[in-house]
Homo-oligomer: A and B are copies of this chain.
Amino acid sequence: MTLPHSVRIREVGPRDGIQSESAPVSTEDKIRLIDALSETGLRYIEAVSFVSPKAIPNMADARQVWDGIKRNPEVFYSALVPNRKGAELAAEAGLDGMQVFIAATDSYNLSNVGKTVRDSMSDVEEVVATGAQAGIPVEGTISTAFGDPYEGDVDAARVVDVARRMVGCGITTISYGDTTGMATPRRVRDLIDSLRRNLPDLELNMHFHDTRGTGLANVLTALELGVDYFDASVGGMGGSPYARGATGNVATEDLVHMLEDMDVSTGVNLESLLEAARVAQGFIAGELPSKVLKAGPRWRLSKAAG
């Protein structure tokens, strides 16, 4: 079994995690979290989103957060944007990259942005054009790639179809979001195989949740298929305001902890990452779901018990 020697991890906690919080998070806390993450060795951070402040009040201060952080020149900071307006704000602010999103299903896309998938595709086009004009690379996200909270299972063929249309808009890297936590190793394999068969040049990122315990098993499956680009969220923050019960991205520290022990290099210092998770825990209500944050790294146990 040959696994990739190294992977890229995109930290989405500051955006995906905080966006899911119903309680307000202060601008200062967001800045502290991003600054802490910027010192962990993580090279990709989804820092903010430029979305409707009415829909997601916790992202209304995206520009202030971005202006307030200490930018580490070794980190690529991206923003999630739903449309041209968001892309223009991200370009104006000078983000390193943009992430444009669409759902695999009309039901979810309608509840998320009030449009069908087909109608959203023109937004994707406009974001790509705005990015091109500003010289900022744009990647895509397809949410509900393994299941929709209203429609249930989502066939790989449907996801491939949406991916193909995104590629037609000029996107070359797409992240597949297990928004509802319905992915299992078999479905991960099915989707990756279908994507590779139909869109061999497309670069893949997998965005898993640990809603039903399969988060790292899904990562392992993707890794065995050669995928080397993953999203994760510090402390396991996150979920989706529109997918009930869909809590918990794969925790970045659980991911790093497993991968490093498998000799898959992440470039991340786990102790610094745990520090950043403690920063997040300081302002998030309730216990973060991360396991390694609670139990400590596997090598710490021996000292704790001694």
**Which of A77-85, A195-203, A214-222 contacts the other chain?**
A214-222
Nearest-CB distance from A220 to chain B (Å)? 5
**A292 at the binding interface (Cβ < 8 Å):** yes
Q: In the complex, which residues of chain B have a beta carbon less than 8 angstroms from the beta carbon of A214?
A: 216, 254, 258
Give the number of residues in A that approach B within 8 Å (Cβ atoms).
54
Chain B residues, Cβ within 8 Å of A290: 213
Question: How far does the alpha carbon of A224 sit from the alpha carbon of B281 in the complex, in Å?
Answer: 36
Q: Is the CB of A243 within 8 A of B213?
A: no
Selected contact of A212 from candidates B150, B180, B257, CB within 8 Å: B257
Among B257, B262, B305, the residue within 8 A (CB) of A244 is B305
Copies in the complex: 2
What residue in chain B is nearest A250 (Cβ atoms)?
Answer: B213
Contact of B244 with A213 in the complex, beta carbons under 8 Å: no
Chain A positions 168 through 195: 1 when the CB is less than 8 Å from some CB of chain B, otherwise 0: 0000000000001110111101000000
* Stretch among A8-16, A31-39, A44-52, A295-303 lining the B interface: A295-303
Contact B151 A184 (CB under 8 A): no
Binary flags per residue of A18-35, CB closer than 8 Å to B gives 1, else 0: 000000000000000000
In whole Å, how far is A241's beta carbon from the nearest beta carbon of chain B? Answer: 12
| Complex Cα–Cα for A182 and B263 (A) | 15
A234 within 8 A of B: no
Q: Across the interface, do B298 and A182 meet the contact criterion of CB distance under 8 Å? A: yes
Cα A149 to Cα B303 in complex, Å, equals 8
Query: Please, how many angstroms separate the alpha-carbon atoms of A299 and B306 in the complex?
Result: 45
A99 at the interface (CB under 8 A from B): no
Let me know if A184 and B261 touch, CB within 8 A. Answer: yes
Q: Which residues from chain B contact A216 at a C-beta distance below 8 Å?
A: 213-214, 216-217
- Min CB–CB distance A147 → chain B (angstroms): 6
In the bound assembly, the distance between CA atoms of A278 and B33 in angstroms comes to 37
Please, which residue of chain B has its CB at the minimum distance from the CB of A184?
B261
The answer on a CB contact under 8 Å between A296 and B245 is yes
Q: Which residues of B contact A304 (CB under 8 A)?
A: 149, 244-245
A187 surroundings in chain B (CB, below 8 A): 261
Question: Is the Cβ of A186 less than 8 Å from the Cβ of B262?
Answer: yes
Known: A211-B291, A217-B220. A302 touches B152 (CB 8 A): yes
CA–CA, A301 and B243, complex, Å: 9
Contact status A212-B295, CB under 8 Å: yes
Q: Which 4 A-B pairs have the closest CB atoms?
A: A149-B305, A152-B302, A213-B254, A213-B291
